[in-house]
Amino acid sequence: MPRVRCWVVAALFALLWCGWASAAGINLRDVELGRSDDGVLLSFTAGFELPKTVEEALLKGVPLHFEAEAQIYRSRWYWRDQRVARAGRTWRLAYQPLTRRYRVTFGSLNQNYDTLDEALAAIQRTTRWRIADLSRFEPGERHYIELDFRLDTSQLPRPFQIGIGGEDEWDLSAESTLVMDDPN
């Protein structure tokens, strides 16, 4: 009887450990849709911390690229859902060893930060991102949005891409689906 209890306790501990380990990653929260005169707006917060190995690579001069992608679909009962629009954003996070500062690049804009937490905060929060024109939506039809946010490992230097195959620490990603009211 005591061996069965030990086995049950060990199994419960393993399940809790696996649940805790898989919880590490990106948590999309505060995902909101809005409308303006010229389009549909998306706001969200991506909560995450860099795993130790990813942070070490960043401190050694390896830049990290984060990507957000929003795809809008129109539901169809007779065929696959039709993609109406697609929008994407990319952030580049790099550490400058000479100045001991972090640089976040978004498009042609660069901003320097003193700490990693400040730099990550600039990447994690997106507000009023225009993802589609209102003209793309058909009145009375059901639309939904699929939001993906991830660390783009395809942008890493080639030796890192080969070396990180199958490592969970480098798999930072999250997905969210939002059903949209009639935007028109």
Chain position carrying tokens 């999250």: 174
Apex 150 CA angle, 130 and 48, nearest 5 = 100
| pLDDT at residue 13 in the model | 36
25: which residues sit within 8 A by CB, 6+ positions away?
48, 171, 172, 173, 174
65/133 Cα distance (integer angstroms):
27
- Is residue 12 predicted with pLDDT exceeding 60? no
Apex 159 CA angle, 24 and 22, nearest 5 = 10
| pLDDT 10s digits, 93-110 | 999 999 999 999 999 999
Q: 76 or 18: whose pLDDT is higher?
A: 76
| pLDDT 10s digits, 33-81 | 998 888 899 999 999 999 999 999 999 999 999 999 999 999 888 888 8
| pLDDT at residue 183 in the model | 58
Q: How confident is the model at residue 84 (pLDDT cuts 50, 70, 90)?
A: very high
Residue 15: phi and psi, rounded to 5, are: -65, -45
180: which residues sit within 8 A by CB, 6+ positions away?
33, 40, 72, 142, 143, 144, 145
Q: How confident is the model at residue 134 (pLDDT cuts 50, 70, 90)?
A: confident
User: Residues 18-42: what's their mean pLDDT?
Assistant: 76
Q: Residue 8's CB: how many other CB atoms inside 10 A?
A: 10
